[in-house]
């Protein structure tokens, strides 16, 4: 029996609340529209979709009418009062949107940024046991839509909170996961002498498991901020697909490595700063040399200029010179090339197009700052090993060392926004916010 | 004492063969030019560079004159005769260059593609114990310089060998590692009904350990080809940084994930096909459903056209519409967008630039084929979850499913070279060479 036949037999329509019985299980949820005739798409209360093969369906019961007034019902719900308890640390949650603050659109099954931040917090009573929580919605957007101006706004909110609230223990930034590592890098550079922990927290609700990871990630981040002496920008997400631990990852040395898993954020050329066990709330520090709170910290400096004319360009076989010449014509000030291997681009072997690419890179390097990162992500750029790398160095290309291409891109844009071109060339390869790991004394290969 | 002082004290010059004594060890090699005054750069016989801090140097002895005639000496060396033994399988090694066939330039310490393939083979006697080896040099280039025309040439050589040598057990393609996964994808698509194993083998000599991995990777690949019933394109490299195992990885579902480690190639949304233990030569199959040799195989079809006007574009925060409009103006026929998360681009939130980006994608999709892959690499594209994805689907963007951006790019170029635009749109999301993993019945989230 296919979906159409099942719907007729049990008199249910799309958007009805139904209970589906298979041989061994039953599932309750809203029947979603879907194009697959051999499967029922059910939106469950947890917010997750489940697919049930029609061949496994034994019975369907209608439990409620078509779900239409979801939005209305939600907004009518009373706001719970947020109480403050003396002795608990003060944590500010800045919400920017993303899945962590999302609600499912019942008509389409798609996720939209819409939940009010206050509601999210009052729905997680554990937060209030650990800290006095204040919250503020900066905006509501999916992180894939963010632009440089949005980084300025978040950095400004952080600066304001740190300067105004002397008792502030730390800040959580609720954020979409798509570009969270770009934002964490931008905030790392924009805020100098940050003397509180600022933890970006996302959620991969669209995940491979049955419940949302938003609550656990928020609880772990709160727990960490309340107890830690770490200061600076970091990310708090699941350590693995299970719900046992969260990890605190560097804001400049992490990236999203999986499109849907809750443990999608991984350290790159780095290890996690700390692990928080969800059940015991125990914090284990994995890194010895993380930045620590200073009793007499220097004053927070906000440098939030960022050069719009900065590009991140992935290099690949059959790349053409014209693609680079475009950036010269458009007067870009900074270019990060995401090259291959140790930091290469197709400039050799005497072919006409490769010669033109070399010439285009050389010209770009004259006018603007050209930086080389690797699409391999792990490992370090070393342009001293192969002839291709040496030629690129001679053309003026600067190594991103072991920065991710994303961090190199944000750093370059930030440097160009706040410093001269000459200073930018000097600072790009220098470690400013933990983004570059110290390399051993000599360039080249080491023996173990 | 710095380098200059040491050189004077012990009367040694750059390019001299020297013996360096530290408190507990001694190192023999050629003193390389280097800019670091606090370290001696030594090129050792193994081909590796080592850095010795000048402060640790107790004594230096000069053991030989300046090394200048290396090249001459090498070419004078006699070629060993390659003998054939009855009963052993015939394996062809096609060399294209890269580190696996490289030699170190003593003047600069850089690696250049220069060793003759025959010499490489006769230097590894183990190969001759397992198979009768024929070898041919297709060209000598670093893989970062490869262009589409080079794929045609390699594919042509494979076709020729398979059709001419009826007794051929399989082929090894010696290849640079920078773009090996792009080439393996190209060969996978260009050669249909391939009924022998064709294994790409590279070397990460510029690695974190003391000896080259070229020999072990070649021996493992030879062993695998001699004994396996696997057919098709695959990659053979180290499984981990130790020298214990090699793995056979799918030609369409792998990528270089580390700039220097010998285990840099990893399966993406896939597992390895087989593991070869170097010591015991034992082959363990990890995948059950790999393509197997057919007794009556269909005839090999070579489809080696490939559309030059295909681009791979990484998307990032603050991306601009103009960067996409360039590809429309230049009449590109295919575009792979390397988007964020589940397959997103900055098209929402009602900002002017994001609106323009959406419009540019919509226009590109009308004229050409636009495919969405993820810069997260692991996981699958799903444009049905968030409003951003749905809007992109409506604009005509096609999901790359769980293909890597690199494989999606090569596949799109190959489809456009050999099929109509309409056929390309249909075939891009269909599994042709193991590049797409079957997804479960329903789009969306599954519970475990």
Q: Tell me the C-alpha to C-alpha distance, in Å, between residue B331 and each of A315, B168, B311, B326, B368.
A: 19, 43, 11, 9, 8
B344, B349, B355, B359: CA torsion to nearest 10: 40
Q: What is the mean pLDDT of residues A103-123?
A: 56
B260–A448 C-beta distance less than 8 A: no
Indicate which residue of A3, A16, A54, A99 is catalytic: A99
A24 band by pLDDT with thresholds 50, 70 and 90: confident
Which pLDDT score, from 0 to 100, does residue A448 have? 23
Contact A31, A65 (CB under 8 A): no
Round to whole Å and give the CA distance between A215 and A193.
30
CB atoms A256 and B111 under 8 Å? no
**What residue spans define the domains of chain A?**
3-64, 84-302, 310-427
CA distances from B224 to A447, B169, B248, B284, B300 (A): 29, 11, 9, 10, 22
CA distance A196 to chain B (A): 26
What ranges make up the beta strands (E) of A321-396?
A: 334-339, 369-374
Whether B246 contacts B216, CB under 8 Å? yes
- Sheet with strand A39-44: strands edge to edge: A49-53, A39-44, A26-31, A17-21, A59-64
Residue with tokens 């727990």: A223
DSSP 8-class letter at B99: G
Q: How many CB pairs under 8 A join A and B?
A: 286
Q: Spell out, as residue ranges, where chain B has pLDDT lower than 50.
A: 69-81, 106-108, 206-210, 441-448
Q: How far is B292 from chain A (nearest CA, A)?
A: 30
Question: Tokens in use for B441?
Answer: 């019945």
Q: What is the DSSP string of B367-389?
A: HSEEEEEETT-BS---TTSBHHH
Contacts of A109 in chain B (CB under 8 A): 384, 444
Q: Do B208 and A264 touch (CB under 8 A)?
A: no
pLDDT on residue A117: 55
- pLDDT of B94 reads 93
Record: fold of A84-302 = Rossmann fold (3.40.50)
The reply to whether residue A348 touches residue B141, judged by beta carbons under 8 angstroms, is yes
Q: What pLDDT is attached to residue A37?
A: 78
A136/B contact by beta carbon, under 8 A: no
Residue predicted with more confidence, A241 or A436: A436
For residue B360, give the H/E element and its range: helix B352-367
Tell me what the mean pLDDT of segment A63-68 comes to.
69
The average pLDDT across A116-137 equals: 76
pLDDT for the residue A47: 53
A310-427 and A84-302 share a CATH fold: yes
* Cα–Cα distance for residue pair A263/A246, rounded to 1 Å: 9
- Whether B391 is catalytic is no
- A178 touches B344 (CB < 8 A): yes
CB A201 within 8 A of CB A175: yes
Q: How confident is the model at residue A31 (pLDDT cuts 50, 70, 90)?
A: confident
**Beta strand B197-201 with B232-238: parallel, antiparallel or unpaired?**
parallel
Residues in chain A: 448
CB A433 within 8 A of CB A189: yes
ipTM of the complex: 0.82
This prediction has a pTM of 0.82
Residues of chain A with pLDDT > 90, as a percent, come to: 64
- B284 labelled catalytic: no
A178 is known as an active-site residue: yes
The CATH fold of domain B310-427: Rossmann fold (3.40.50)
From A327's Cα to the closest Cα of chain B, the distance in A is 9
Q: CB-based contact (8 Å) between B235 and chain A? A: no
Predicted confidence (pLDDT) at residue A272 exceeds the cutoff of 60: yes
Say yes or no: A339 contacts chain B, CB-CB below 8 A: yes
Q: Which residues of B touch A444 (CB under 8 A)?
A: 41, 49, 51, 109
Please determine, for residue A159, whether its predicted confidence score (pLDDT) is greater than 80: yes
**What secondary structure letter does DSSP report for B344?**
B
Residue B74 pLDDT: 43
Active-site choice (B43, B253, B256, B411): B256
In this complex, do A51 and B440 lie within 8 Å of one another by their Cβ atoms?
Answer: yes
DSSP string, B231-296: -EEEEEEESSSSSSEEEEEESSSEEE-BSS-TT-EEESSS--SEEEETTT--EEE--SS--B--TT
The answer to whether A437 faces chain B, any CB pair under 8 Å, is: no
**Among A122, A177, A183, A404, which one carries the catalytic annotation?**
A177
Distance between start and end Cα atoms, chain A: 64
SS3 call for A297: coil
Decide if A312 touches B, using CB distance below 8 A: yes
B362 Cβ contact list (under 8 Å, min separation 6): B395, B396
Name the architecture of domain A3-64. Roll (2.30)
**Which of B407, B326, B417 has the alpha carbon at shortest distance from B371?**
B407
Element holding A356 (H helix, E strand): helix A352-367
pLDDT at B82: 54
Instruction: Give the integer Cα–Cα distance in Å for A206 and A201.
Output: 15
Q: Give the closest residue to A228 by CA, choosing from A130, A96, A117, A85.
A: A130
Closest C-alpha to A202, from A184, A223, A190: A184
Q: What is the pLDDT of residues A215-269, one digit of tens each?
A: 899 999 999 999 999 999 999 999 998 889 999 999 999 999 999 889 999 999 9
pLDDT tens per residue, range A343-360: 999 998 789 999 999 999
Residue B191 contacts by C-beta under 8 Å, 6 or more apart in sequence? B155, B158, B159, B198, B233, B300, B301, B302
Q: Is residue A386 within 8 angstroms of chain B, CB to CB?
A: yes
Contacts of B308 in chain A (CB under 8 A): 318
Out of A3, A54, A96, A178, the active site residue is A178
Whether residues A387 and B110 touch (CB distance < 8 A) is answered with yes
Q: Which of residues 271-300 of B touch A (CB under 8 A)?
A: none
Q: Is B71 helix (H, G, I), strand (E, B) or coil?
A: helix
Are A408 and A427 in contact by the 8 Å Cβ rule? The answer is no
d(CA A265, CA A245): 13
Active-site residue flag, A130: no
């Amino acid at each position: 029996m296919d979906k159409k036949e099942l719907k007729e037999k049990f008199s249910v329509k799309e958007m009805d609340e139904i209970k589906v019985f298979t041989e061994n299980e039953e599932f309750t949820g809203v029947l979603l529209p879907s194009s697959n005739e051999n499967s029922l798409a059910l939106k469950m209360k947890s917010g997750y979709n489940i697919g049930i093969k029609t061949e496994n369906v034994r019975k369907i019961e209608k439990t409620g009418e078509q779900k239409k007034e979801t939005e209305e019902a939600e907004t009518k719900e009373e706001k719970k009062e947020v109480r403050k308890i003396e002795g608990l640390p003060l944590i500010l949650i800045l919400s920017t949107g993303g899945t962590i603050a999302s609600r499912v659109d019942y008509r389409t099954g798609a996720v939209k940024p819409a939940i009010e931040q206050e509601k999210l917090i009052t729905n997680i009573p554990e937060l209030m046991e650990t800290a006095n929580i204040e919250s503020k919605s900066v905006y509501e957007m999916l992180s894939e839509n963010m632009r440089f101006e949005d980084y300025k706004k978040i950095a400004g909110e952080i600066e304001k909170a740190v300067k105004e609230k002397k008792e502030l223990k730390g800040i959580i930034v609720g954020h979409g996961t798509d570009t969270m590592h770009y934002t964490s890098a931008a905030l790392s550079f924009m805020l100098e002498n940050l003397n509180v922990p600022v933890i970006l927290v996302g959620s991969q609700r669209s995940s491979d498991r049955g419940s949302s990871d938003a609550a656990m990630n928020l609880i772990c981040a709160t727990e960490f901020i309340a107890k830690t002496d770490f200061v600076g920008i970091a990310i708090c997400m699941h350590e693995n697909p299970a719900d046992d631990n969260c990890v605190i990852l560097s804001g400049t040395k992490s990236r999203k490595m999986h499109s849907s898993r809750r443990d999608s954020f991984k350290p790159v050329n780095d290890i996690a700063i700390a692990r928080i066990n969800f059940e015991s709330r125990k914090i284990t520090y994995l890194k010895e040399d993380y930045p620590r709170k200073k009793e007499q910290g220097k004053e927070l400096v906000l440098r939030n200029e960022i050069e719009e004319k900065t590009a991140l360009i992935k290099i690949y076989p059959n790349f053409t010179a014209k693609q680079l010449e475009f950036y010269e014509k458009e007067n870009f000030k900074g270019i990060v090339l995401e090259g291959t291997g140790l930091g290469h681009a197709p400039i050799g072997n005497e072919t006409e197009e490769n010669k033109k690419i070399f010439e285009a890179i050389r010209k770009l390097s004259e006018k603007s700052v050209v930086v080389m990162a690797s699409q391999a992500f792990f490992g370090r750029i070393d342009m001293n090993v192969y002839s291709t790398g040496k030629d690129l160095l001679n053309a003026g290309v600067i190594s991103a060392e072991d920065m991710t291409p994303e961090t190199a891109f944000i750093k370059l844009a930030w440097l160009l926004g706040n410093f001269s071109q000459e200073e930018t060339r000097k600072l790009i390869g220098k470690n400013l916010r933990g983004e570059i790991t110290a390399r051993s004394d000599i360039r080249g290969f080491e023996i173990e």
